[in-house]
Structure 1
């Protein structure tokens, strides 16, 4: 049995104090890893279904093999690992804005760290996903990708940094989509229900847009909770 509570790491960052914690859930009798930014919870290893679905739904919409994929936001690594479980993935570039989060994985502090660091297809990149998406060079020296999977903000309407807001406009999405191959896929995780206005915004840029509601058990509420995964395909 693990400790009841442990703060594994705590750092000051440009966007606030970030901490990695491990606690023992007495109901499920499992260790739970959590990341907080100041007083706000960013992620928990208890609820990873939608993060994994982000990769699976996004890649399911991509045809062909030998896929090059970008994941925006490393977090606890569940989206990245789910992407690597697809045998068609040739390369995975995980863009993370906080070097501390990459370091947690490189130091083996997280349950999925070995799965990611031990896979030769995977590479971590410390950088601002949104700035790279807007740039001409993109995520990797002008290289195009078959899928871009994004899980950074809580939702397009609830961003972690006000500077991210422009990304969720038609112009911002067009600049990002320029780094996809024709027929490439952009998939986005959101903590909110499907948002009609944002679905219409995606439809201005992409050929096909589908918001998927992903449900999962929530033992805290005694019922189910839901997230949204938007999947959008370029012409």
Structure 2
């Protein structure tokens, strides 16, 4: 019998039950699809990755230099992180995810991009709360108390600035916390955020109060289920020079 469906992992986390599934998609000639579910919600799919890739591509395209230190908030299936590593200007990449199982999938090679991330010496996978580190005054994104800045922060955790994976994440989307995040980025550096929703005027106003400049991009991609096109958003904000 041809391969149809397999649950590769199932674990209970503080946010709920998370599972990694692999299946064949008959509508795409049996293409193998990887999916992540948290409780009853689908978090991500390897069928739809264009906006995650564009998060890294757009965020890093706005920077100059050949020794960039980058932080990615949210590992997922790894598409944003791998696209960041494809940029030869990236010197170091720190990927922060609060869910140990997700990091474990990459280290065990259960997801296709795991070997790429774990095999690149520039890349570190860190189990931690990105939002706690972003909002900690006087500290960087590392383990210690260093205030060392990075050149770019690429964030893909919540569904949107107003639709959070965890209700406590709402505290990140404030002038105070985004201001502390901006302090961890080099002058002229970039904060980029993925959103499943169209650009939001209220969030753009918030970015405008904290950062020197901001813009929102709609990223279209083909929807294999509808036969049409869907879209996500990428916000780009630059710190004061």
The verdict on a shared fold, with TM-score over 0.5 as the criterion, is: yes
Residue 148 of structure 2: aligned partner:
143
Supply the distance in 2 between the matched residues of 1:63 and 1:2 (Cα, whole angstroms).
49
Decide whether the 8 Å contact of 1:2 with 1:31 is kept in 2.
no
How far off its partner does 1:25 sit? 0.4
Gap regions ≥5 residues in structure 2 = none
How far off its partner does 1:153 sit? 0.2
Gap regions ≥5 residues in structure 1 = none
How far off its partner does 1:61 sit? 0.9
Residue 106 of structure 2: aligned partner:
105
Supply the distance in 2 between the matched residues of 1:200 and 1:64 (Cα, whole angstroms).
29
Q: Deviations over 1:70-116 (max 9, x none)?
A: 00000000000000000000000000100110000000000111111
Residue 119 of structure 1: aligned partner:
120
Q: Deviations over 1:6-59 (max 9, x none)?
A: 000000000100000001000112110000000001100000000000000000
- The two structures have a TM-score, normalised by structure 2, of 0.96
The 5 Å alignment of 1:170-181 reads 170-181=175-186
* 1:19 aligned onto 2:19: yes
- The two structures have a TM-score, normalised by structure 1, of 0.98
Q: Which 4+ residue blocks in structure 1 deviate beyond 4 angstroms?
A: none
Supply the distance in 2 between the matched residues of 1:153 and 1:65 (Cα, whole angstroms).
30
Supply the distance in 1 between the matched residues of 2:166 and 2:224 (Cα, whole angstroms).
30
The 5 Å alignment of 1:1-235 reads 3-28=3-28, 29-135=30-136, 136-140=138-142, 141-235=146-240
Decide whether the 8 Å contact of 1:94 with 1:122 is kept in 2.
yes
Task: Indicate the SS of the match to 1:231.
Answer: strand
Matched length:
235
